[in-house]
């Protein structure tokens, strides 16, 4: 006789990757899903009359390895809240592991206190994702690397540099290229570009014009740019003001051509008009953020970040090495 227990039976658990998309940029999530060979999970997402957000997943998520994608474009606060609610719903439905995939990390520029009585909003974002139930964060080209330390858990910090650099390297004579940092804060990023391309580095140094108190800064170019193709590199283009002023300074110092390469195309306010009407010959960004048709222009090239995100998600799901994607 038996005691009712089947002691010889082994219960096997099977890992299950599930990809979820918020409403901010479902097209990117679909690209990532295609790269992974999966479908995004059908999800009910809608707003109540007072603006509150409702979320319900239409499939069981119990025991799954969940990856929740949201691109934090305008209106950024709505999309942050929606992603938080999605994470909470997954936690309460007993997902085994939840990874927040935020190609553009929200509030990244508020990473320290510049003056008294200011918030450190980038830290707050990390804290609320953790509180909601996230086990892991995945993002692309943080404004500052220190943000990785704000989240109490693993952070996969991906880099778009190989994608951007390979595109430009294929069309330019790198012997005639100078990589340019638009300010002192981007020097480390620019150095990675020089390592990749084997090109010299120049820096735009900003200082106030002593002849005009309390007025705009004068851009001084430190480095060899005369007669050369200059690649201005940055993590994002927001209003375009800094980039256009930097390009003007390069042309004033004899640059033959200026190309801009940035990961995140925020393109707020007058950015499109500024870039279209500038002497910049090409603006290269990735699609970490949606770029609507009315923000596209002839000089703009948009490269897909989906294969990188897909590869990183696969490595994370298989407990592999995300850093191996960058040759580390």
The two tokens of residue 144 are 């500052």
CB 54 within 8 A of CB 47: yes
CA distance 223 to 216: 22
CB-based burial, 1-17: b 16+ in 10 Å, e otherwise: eeeeeeeeeeeeeeeeb
| Residue 206 known to be catalytic | yes
Contacts of 24 (CB under 8 A, 6+ apart): 70, 71, 72, 73, 79, 82, 290
Whether a cis peptide bond, with omega within 30° of 0, leads into 75 is yes
Which residue out of 206, 217, 276, 299 is catalytically annotated? Answer: 206
Q: Say if CB 178 and CB 228 are below 8 A apart.
A: yes
Closest alpha carbon to 286 in 270, 318, 308: 308
The tokens of 313 are what?
């998600």
Coil, helix or strand for 168?
helix
Sign of the CA dihedral 260, 141, 22, 76? negative
Angle at 192 between CA 187 and CA 197, to 5 degrees: 120
**Within a 10 A sphere around the Cβ of 253, how many other Cβ atoms?**
18
The residue count for the chain: 328
Q: Are 298 and 275 in contact (CB under 8 A)?
A: no
CA distances from 146 to 36, 109, 126 (A): 30, 11, 12
Give catalytic residue positions: 206
């Amino acid at each position: 006789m038996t005691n009712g227990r089947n002691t010889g039976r082994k219960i096997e658990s099977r890992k299950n990757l599930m990809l979820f998309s918020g409403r901010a940029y479902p097209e990117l999530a679909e690209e990532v899903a295609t790269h992974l060979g999966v479908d995004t999970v059908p999800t009910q997402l809608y707003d109540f009359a007072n603006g509150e957000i409702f979320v319900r997943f239409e499939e069981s998520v119990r025991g799954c390895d969940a990856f929740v994608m949201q691109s934090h474009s305008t209106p950024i606060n709505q999309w942050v809240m929606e992603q938080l609610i999605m994470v909470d719903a997954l936690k309460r439905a007993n997902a085994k592991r939840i990874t927040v995939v935020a190609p553009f990390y929200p509030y990244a520029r508020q990473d320290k206190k510049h003056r008294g009585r200011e918030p450190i909003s980038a830290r707050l974002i990390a804290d609320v994702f953790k509180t909601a139930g996230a086990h892991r964060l995945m993002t692309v080209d943080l404004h500052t690397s220190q943000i990785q330390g704000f989240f109490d858990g693993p952070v996969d910090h991906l880099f778009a540099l190989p994608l951007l650099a390979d595109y430009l390297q294929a069309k330019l004579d790198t012997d005639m290229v100078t990589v340019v940092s638009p300010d002192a804060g981007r020097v480390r990023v620019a150095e990675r570009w020089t390592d990749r391309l084997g090109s010299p580095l120049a820096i735009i140094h900003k200082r106030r014009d002593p002849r005009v108190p309390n007025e705009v800064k004068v851009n001084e170019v430190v480095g060899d740019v005369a007669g050369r193709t200059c690649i201005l590199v940055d993590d994002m283009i927001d209003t375009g003001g800094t980039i256009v002023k930097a390009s003007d300074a390069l042309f004033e110092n004899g640059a033959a051509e200026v190309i801009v390469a940035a990961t995140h195309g925020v393109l707020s306010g007058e950015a499109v008009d500024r870039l279209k009407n500038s002497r910049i010959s090409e603006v290269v960004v990735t699609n970490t953020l949606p770029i609507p048709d009315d923000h596209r222009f002839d000089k703009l090239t948009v490269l897909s970040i989906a294969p990188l995100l897909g590869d990183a998600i696969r490595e994370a799901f298989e407990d592999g090495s995300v850093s191996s994607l960058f040759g580390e």
